[in-house]
């Protein structure tokens, strides 16, 4: 029966992947697939579907399990993620993000004689912004409106400018990332501890390699394209080169507000230990404190209580949007993972991999490549990681590996795969605004990202 359960789970994974590729609603698809697998597990007598508080009837137990998953996620990472989303929406509403981007992009003017170097430098600057503005599509569109016309005016092609903007969103890292929040929770660490001790040591060298690969990749393809179309590669497509020099109509001091939660969490982190302060500060608390302080900034700037309260409303709307898009996806993905666990899919997969002689490290490398490909197929780093994330601690235990050693590369691989997907929101959005093909942009990104994921796997397995 275990073989039949494994085959059925493979079939459900395949159907789910095809459905995601065809842009079916991921929450509904993942939850339905999970429920079907849990039902099949019951009838195959592989696993009993019993929530912590059983109802006495299987069909109600399934619904009760969904209720418990909702409640547990809202009590744990769900509220924190919603708070992060609300704060990001509030920062966009008061144009603090625009002020931060305006200041951050100033150094690009120093590299007018070296356009490809200027384009490559966008990657680390954008990654720093991505830590405080954890919306790939949102940051991508913001950079298209600001840095994109400057890169075009420096002489690089549209695809080169867009590729480095996409590369700025390669790594879901920092305190505002939903993937980071989930990964840290699975490991049993705080977001700050996970970010400082695990993410940064792997992201920094991988980013350097990715920058080199994007530099030479873009130069090669621009020269190749120039031979085919001499006049077409420098068109700006309705984007003017004056976007960047226009200052936002808010004080530039507002640029401090998006990074304030990060600064607070690092300042009071035990890993920094400044002044030996005995203050324990969580991500949600830091976000809410920064929100209230930001409201004071807005009140002094606008001198209007009504305008300040109207701006405050964007925080609640942002929380609701994140609940709709992210928290519900986490819940649906956990139901999906429970279905895979119920059918014994992971146990069988690990068993078969061990049977053919793969070591724990080799299996970890294979899983990293699988989730990279899954993110390309789904067009979402969140969907790919949330689908497999809850399963990883158990897999790591079976393989005899530290939990972080499996979760870390898979979490980063998920966001890297997103940048090579022609159906990813960030790729579709920035390509659409610039008037180029999302398929061509994804194709331009594929080679440096493959090189980057190979380096990430090798470097992590050697150094962890």
Question: Could you please report the per-residue DSSP string of 111-172?
Answer: GTT-HHHHHHHHHHHHHHHHHHS--HHHHHHHHHHHHHHHHHHHT--HHHHHHHHHHTTS--
pLDDT category of residue 351 using cuts at 50, 70 and 90: low
Write down the pLDDT at residue 235: 44
Give the chain's count of helices (H) and strands (E): 22, 0
Q: How confident is the model at residue 243, as a pLDDT?
A: 43
Vertex 443: Cα angle to 439 and 446 (nearest 5)? 140
Tell me which of 380 and 39 has the higher pLDDT. 39
Task: Name residue, tokens 């609701």.
Answer: 320
List, for residues 160-196, the tens digit of each pLDDT value. Answer: 999 999 999 899 887 778 888 888 888 888 888 888 8
Q: What is the pLDDT, as a whole number, of residue 452?
A: 94
Could you give the CA distance from residue 350 to residue 340 in angstroms, rounded to a whole number? 13
CB–CB of 426/169 below 8 Å?
A: yes
Residue 217: the pLDDT is 93
The per-residue pLDDT for 136 is 80
Q: How many CB atoms lie within 10 A of CB 337?
A: 24
Has residue 292 been placed in a domain?
A: yes
Calpha distance 124→169 (Å, rounded):
10
Which domain does 177 fall in, by range?
68-463
Tokens 């690092």 locate to: 266
Domain membership of residue 110 (yes or no) is yes
261-278: average pLDDT: 65
HSE on the CB side for 260, CA within 13 Å?
A: 24
Q: Which residue has the higher pLDDT, 86 or 379?
A: 86
DSSP string, 422-433: TTSHHHHHHHHH
Assess if residue 63 is contained within a domain: no
Is 140 within the bounds of a domain?
yes
Q: How many domains does the chain have?
A: 1
Does residue 119 lie within any of the structural domains?
yes
Q: Is residue 379 part of a domain?
A: yes
pLDDT class for 426, splitting at 50, 70, 90?
A: confident
- Quote the pTM value: 0.69
Comparing 93-97, 229-233, 282-286, 355-359, the range with the smallest average pLDDT is 229-233
Sign of the CA dihedral running 37, 38, 43, 48: positive
Taking only the tens place, the pLDDT of each residue in 75-108 is 666 777 788 778 878 888 888 877 877 776 677 6
In a domain, residue 28? The reply is: no
Identify whether the C-beta of residue 94 lies closer than 8 Å to the C-beta of residue 135: no
Contacts of 125 (CB under 8 A, 6+ apart): 104, 105, 107, 168
pLDDT of residue 445: 92
Q: Is residue 240 part of a domain?
A: yes
* Lowest mean pLDDT across 59-68, 113-122, 178-187: 59-68
């Amino acid at each position: 029966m275990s073989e039949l359960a494994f085959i059925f789970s493979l079939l459900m994974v395949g159907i789910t992947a095809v459905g995601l590729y065809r842009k079916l609603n991921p929450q509904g698809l993942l939850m339905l697939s999970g429920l079907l697998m849990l039902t099949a597990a019951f009838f195959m007598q592989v696993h009993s579907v019993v929530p912590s508080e059983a109802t006495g009837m299987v069909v109600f137990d399934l619904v009760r399990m969904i209720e418990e998953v909702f409640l547990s996620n809202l009590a744990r990472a769900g509220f924190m993620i919603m708070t992060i989303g609300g704060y990001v929406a509030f920062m966009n509403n008061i144009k603090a993000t625009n002020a931060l981007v305006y200041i951050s992009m100033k150094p690009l003017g120093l590299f007018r004689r070296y356009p490809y170097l200027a384009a490559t430098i966008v990657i680390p600057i954008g990654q720093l912004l991505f830590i405080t503005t954890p919306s790939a599509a949102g940051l991508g569109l913001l950079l298209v409106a600001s840095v994109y016309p400057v890169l075009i005016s420096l002489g690089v092609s549209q695809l080169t400018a867009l590729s480095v903007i996409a590369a700025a969103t390669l790594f879901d890292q920092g305190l505002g990332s939903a993937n980071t929040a989930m990964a840290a929770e699975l490991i049993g660490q705080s977001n700050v501890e996970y970010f400082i001790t695990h993410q940064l040591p792997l992201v920094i060298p991988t980013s350097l390699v990715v920058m080199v690969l994007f530099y030479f990749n873009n130069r090669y393809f621009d020269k190749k394209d120039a031979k085919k179309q001499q006049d077409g590669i420098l068109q700006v497509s309705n984007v003017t080169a004056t976007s960047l020099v226009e200052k936002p109509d808010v004080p530039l001091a507002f640029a401090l507000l998006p990074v304030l939660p990060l600064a607070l969490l690092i300042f009071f982190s035990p890993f920094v230990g400044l002044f030996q302060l005995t203050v324990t500060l969580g991500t949600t608390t830091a976000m809410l404190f920064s929100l209230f302080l930001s409201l004071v900034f807005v009140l002094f700037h606008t001198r209007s209580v009504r305008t300040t309260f109207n701006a405050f409303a964007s925080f609640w709307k942002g929380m609701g949007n994140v609940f709709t898009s992210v928290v519900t996806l986490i819940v649906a993905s956990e139901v999906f993972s429970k279905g895979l666990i119920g059918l014994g899919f992971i146990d069988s997969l690990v068993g078969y991999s061990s049977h053919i002689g793969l070591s724990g490290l080799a299996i970890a490398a294979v899983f990293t490549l699988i989730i990279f490909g899954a993110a390309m197929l789904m067009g979402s780093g969140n969907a790919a990681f949330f689908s497999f994330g809850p399963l990883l601690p158990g897999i790591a235990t079976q393989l005899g590996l530290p939990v972080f050693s499996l979760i870390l590369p898979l979490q980063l691989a998920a966001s890297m795969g997103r940048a090579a997907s022609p159906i990813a929101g960030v790729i579709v959005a920035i390509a659409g605004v610039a008037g180029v093909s999302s398929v061509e942009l994804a194709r331009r990104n594929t080679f440096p990202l493959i090189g980057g994921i190979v380096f990430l796997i090798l470097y992590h397995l050697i150094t962890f």
